[in-house]
C-alpha cells in the first residue's frame, strides 16, 4: 500500500485572527505570535523527511511555510494559488455583529465562495500533489477554513476547527482515499478515520 503523507498546517496567527475578524482571501500578515507559532511547528514535523514544502501564496501562509522550511533546512518548493483561503466576499474584515449577520445566507455569506466550491478546490489541489509526489511526503501550509472543508470532503466527516500552526497529518492512497492520523496535534482514533 503506497501512501502519500501530508502535513496540513494552518498558518500562524494574524492580528485579524486575534481580533476574531473573518480574513478569507484578504492578505493579512502574520503577527509576532504567529511567527513564534510557525517556529514552534518545526518540532512537530521534524521527525519526517519532506519531499516538498508548498503553501498558499497569501503572505501569512507563505511566511509560515518559509519559517518552517528554514527550521527544517529546506526551501519552499512553490506557492499554489488553489490553496488560498475561502473568499468570504464583503464579510471579510468583519467581526461577529449586526453588519456580519446582515450578510449571512444559508451556507455562508452573500458574495462569498461556497463551502462546496472551496472544498472542491482545496481537495483537487491536494489530490494533484498526491499524484505528483506519489508515495512521498508533502508539507502544506494553507488556511483553516480551506483545510477544514477539504478534509471534511476527503474523510467524509465534519471537523469543527483547524488550529493555527499545529500538525494535521493525513495520508492519501489512490484506491482507498484519505485517512486522517492527527488533527490539531492530537492522534485521531482509528475508528474515526473511516
Q: Which residues are catalytic?
A: 11, 85
Ramachandran sector of residue 137 (left: φ over 0; alpha: ψ -120 to 50; beta: rest): beta
Question: Is there a binding annotation on residue 11?
Answer: yes
Nearest to 145 by CA among 107, 172, 181: 107
Question: Is there a binding annotation on residue 13?
Answer: yes
CA dist list (Å): 46 to 10, 144, 166: 17, 22, 13
CA–CA separation, 58 vs 5, rounded Å?
A: 23
Question: Is there a binding annotation on residue 12?
Answer: yes
Question: Is there a binding annotation on residue 184?
Answer: no
Instruction: Give, for 104, the enclosing helix (H) or strand (E).
Output: strand 104-105
85 touches 146 (CB < 8 A): yes
CA–CA separation, 21 vs 171, rounded Å?
A: 32
Q: Where are the beta strands (DSSP E) in 143-194?
A: 169-173, 177-183, 186-187
Question: Is there a binding annotation on residue 60?
Answer: yes
Question: Is there a binding annotation on residue 17?
Answer: yes
Question: Is there a binding annotation on residue 145?
Answer: no
CA–CA separation, 174 vs 112, rounded Å?
A: 32
Q: Which residues are annotated as a binding site for substrate?
A: 10-17, 60
Q: Which residues are annotated as a binding site?
A: 10-17, 60
Amino acid at each position: 500500500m503506497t501512501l502519500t503523507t501530508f502535513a496540513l498546517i494552518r498558518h500562524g496567527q494574524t492580528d485579524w485572527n486575534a481580533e476574531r475578524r473573518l480574513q478569507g482571501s484578504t492578505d493579512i500578515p502574520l503577527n509576532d505570535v504567529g511567527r513564534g507559532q510557525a517556529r514552534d511547528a518545526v518540532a512537530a514535523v521534524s521527525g519526517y523527511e519532506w519531499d516538498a514544502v508548498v503553501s498558499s501564496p497569501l503572505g501569512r501562509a507563505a511566511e509560515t511555510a518559509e519559517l518552517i522550511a528554514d527550521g527544517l533546512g529546506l526551501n519552499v518548493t512553490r506557492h499554489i494559488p488553489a490553496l488560498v483561503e475561502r473568499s468570504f466576499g464583503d464579510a471579510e474584515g468583519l467581526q461577529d455583529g449586526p453588519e456580519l449577520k446582515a450578510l449571512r445566507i444559508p451556507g455562508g455569506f452573500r458574495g462569498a465562495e461556497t463551502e462546496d466550491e472551496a472544498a472542491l478546490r482545496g481537495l483537487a489541489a491536494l489530490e494533484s500533489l498526491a499524484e505528483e509526489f506519489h508515495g512521498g511526503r508533502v508539507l502544506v501550509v494553507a488556511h483553516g477554513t480551506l483545510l477544514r472543508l477539504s478534509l471534511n470532503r476527503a474523510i467524509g466527516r465534519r471537523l469543527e476547527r483547524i488550529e493555527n500552526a499545529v500538525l494535521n497529518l493525513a495520508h492519501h492512497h489512490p484506491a482507498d482515499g484519505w485517512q486522517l492520523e492527527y488533527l490539531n496535534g492530537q492522534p485521531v482514533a482509528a475508528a474515526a478515520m473511516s
